[in-house]
Amino acid sequence: MVLNPVLGKLVSKRVVLASASPRRQEILTNVGLRFEVVPSWFKETLEKSSFTAPYEYAVETAKQKALEVANRMHVKHLRTPDIVIGADTIVSVDEQILEKPVDKQDAYRMLSRLNGKEHSVFTGVAIIHCHSKDNQLEMDITDFYEETKVKFSELSEELLWEYIHSGEPMDKAGGYGIQALGGMLVEYVHGDFLNVVGFPLNHFCKKLAELYYPPSKHNVQHKKYNSIPSVDTFENLSDGESESSNFTKHKGASKLDSSGIHSSGAVYTSENSSAVRTGFTVPLENQNGVSQSAAKLPSKILELMDGFRASKALFVASKLKIFDHLKDKGPVKAVDIANDVGTSVCGTERLLDACASLGLLEKTPQG
């Protein structure tokens, strides 16, 4: 995993996340990054019309969040951080920027604009490396953004208000959370799923690798696969490549001072579902500062994305009224359900198996 060597470099550094977002904290914790949380006090009052593109607004907001925390910790807390990470996620549709709704009516306005449309989710990220010189704070800033395309299904007024009354939209950019109930609103996602959740982990890992281990030409290989864009693979990312624990400045960095489912014979029956809670802990570290469970870390990210898959299965089953067909009946075969709802037997079996695995239905051994 490309981030593992970098973690060894960061273990002795004071890394600060300038965000109170529990989703960003979970994503970064799951890859083994050690950090403290210092929410930014920056008021997000930048004039949106002054930016030529939505992503520029997200990047600048992320930068200002990180700068505020870096300066505050240096001056007021008398603790100069080594690295401050700032992030800001926005939704853009019809050239309009949507942030977090201020109330339920605002959430309804946002979701109505997204209804049945494709929109873009932008996350701007700023990585600030800080150092104090003659009691003055100097900062090297690297920033980037990630864009993901998301399409909403055509949704009824009733479904929109039901989702709004759940309370979930109120702290989410664009008024929805794709990793939870909001996943039922989404028809498709093109791009980084975690970017929509709130943090573009893949791009962030690559950027850190570029900063700490800039690859030489002979260390970069372009591997091409059918229907998949070429990717850069960084070889020999070991501590032996660099004697210095300081990061190497990326050519794009700027510098500022402180002013700146399978058997057709299976039978299914309806069952009351119960909420499943998942938790996470900070992985233990070895002497090099790298998580001992590094090999298992990707599975934790997959668990986060499973929430989206689960919500999509529930959405499709609800749209086809699967549960209504089973509510007043005994055990029913998949082929009979397929005939009732007008779907293919194979597709219906897969959907029913998915619902059974989620505990929404019960699969019996009867044929």
The DSSP bridge partners found for residue 130 are 139
Q: How far is it, in rounded angstroms, from Cα 176 to Cα 163?
A: 9
> For residues 356 and 7, what is the distance between their CA atoms, to the nearest angstrom?
39
**Catalytic choice (82, 88, 143, 257):** 88
How far apart are the C-alpha atoms of 183 and 315, rounded to whole Å? 8
CA–CA gap between residue 351 and residue 361 (Å, rounded): 11
Q: Is 140 a catalytic residue?
A: no
Q: What would the two tokens of residue 323 be?
A: 């549960």
Kind of pairing, strands 228-234 and 254-257? unpaired
Catalytic residue numbers? 88
